[in-house]
Structure 1
C-alpha cells in the first residue's frame, strides 16, 4: 500500500473482519505484523476492550470494588488506544514525507511540510480511531436488528439507526481518503498530536502526587 492510496475501505474491512473473529479482541496474536496495520488493529483492539469495560462499568448489582476495577481498566485501554493513534499518525506522516522520520516519535516532531499546505485540525489517525468506534456501533446496532426478544418496532428503529451509522462511517472514510490524497499532493497536512494523558501518570496527576507525598511523609515519620 502506498501512502497516497485510498485507505478507508481497507480500514473498514479490517475493523469489521476482526469483529467477526471469535478470538478477538482477547488474542493479541491476531494483530497484523506490518507496522501501519499493526497499529491500526491495536487501536481497534483497545477500543473493543474499552467498549466491553464501559458496558460492565454500568452494572448496578455488583460491588463498588468491581466497578472501580472496570474504571481502572478503562483508563488503561484509553491510554493504549491513544498511544496507538499516535503511532498510526507517525507512520502515515513518514510515508507521506511530511515529518522527519528520526524525530517522528519525539514530543517535538520536525515537520517537512511544503509551503502553502493547509493544516487539517483532525489527524488521519484520529479519523481511523473514530472509524473503529463506528465499527463497534455498527456491529452492536446490527445485532439489535436481529434480536428475537424485542418487537418489530424496536428492530425497525434499529435498522434506521444502522443505516445512518453506515452512512456516517462512509462519510468519515471519504474524508480520510480526501485528507491523505491532499497531503500526498502537497495541498494539506496534519500533525502528530500528543495526548499527554496526565491522569494516568503519577508524576502529573495532582491526586496521585498528593498520595505519594502522604505516603512518603507517613514512611519518614514512622
Structure 2
C-alpha cells in the first residue's frame, strides 16, 4: 500500500468515526499507537472534521453574536493546531530523509509533503459530504445530479493528488527533489506579532 493510500484510509476512518456522533465537542478516540505517523494523520483529520462543522455552525443566519465570536476564536485555535500537526508531519519526513543527498540539479517543490497531505485530508471531507448531498433524498433531483457531477470531479482530484504525493515522496527518496521546511509563522495568534494584541498589552 502506498503512503497516499494509507493516509486516505486513515482519513476516511476518522471522518466515519466523527460522524457516528457528529458532535464538535466529542472527545477524539484515536485508534493508533502513540507517536506513530498514523496517529498524527488521524488526529489531523479529526481536527479538520470538527472545524468543517464549526464552519457550518458559524454561518447560521440567526446565530447569537457572542456564540459566533466564541466559535471564531475556536476556529482560530483549531487552525493553529492544524498547522502544528502539519509541521509535525513535515518534520517526521524531514528526519526520515535527512541522510539523502539531493542531486546537484534537484528541484524544490512548491509545497511540502505534509501540506499536500493536508489538502488530501480536506478532500476526504469534501468527498464524504458531496456524496451525502448526491444521495440526499430530501433534495431535488437537479441538486443530486449536480452534486453527483461535482463528486466525480472530487474523486478524480483524489486520484491525481494521491499520485502527486507519492511521486513527490519518490522524487525526494531519489534525490531529484530537495526537501526544505518553512514554518508557517502565523502572526494573528501571537501577542508579540499581532498589533491589536500587543498594543492592548501596552495599555
User: How high is the TM-score relative to the length of structure 2?
Assistant: 0.90
Does residue 1:42 correspond to 2:43, yes or no? yes
Does residue 1:88 correspond to 2:89, yes or no? yes
Which piece of structure 1 moves more, 126-135 or 28-37? 28-37
Aligned ranges 1:1-222 → 2 under 5 Å? 6-21=2-17, 22=20, 26-30=26-30, 32-33=32-33, 34-97=35-98, 113-214=102-203
Distance in 2 separating the partners of 1:45 and 1:128: 14
Distance in 2 separating the partners of 1:98 and 1:31: 31
**RMSD after superposition:** 1.8
Distance in 2 separating the partners of 1:193 and 1:138: 29
Distance in 2 separating the partners of 1:166 and 1:125: 20
**What SS does the aligned partner of 2:60 have?**
coil
Aligned length: 198
User: How high is the TM-score relative to the length of structure 1?
Assistant: 0.83
Larger Rg: 1
Residue pair 2:102, 2:175 contacting (<8 A) in 1 also? yes
Mark the runs of 5 or more structure 1 residues left unpaired by the alignment. 100-111, 215-222
Cα distance 1:211–1:31, how it changes in 2: closer, same or farther (>3 A)?
A: farther
Distance in 1 separating the partners of 2:28 and 2:108: 35
Residue pair 1:98, 1:113 contacting (<8 A) in 2 also? no
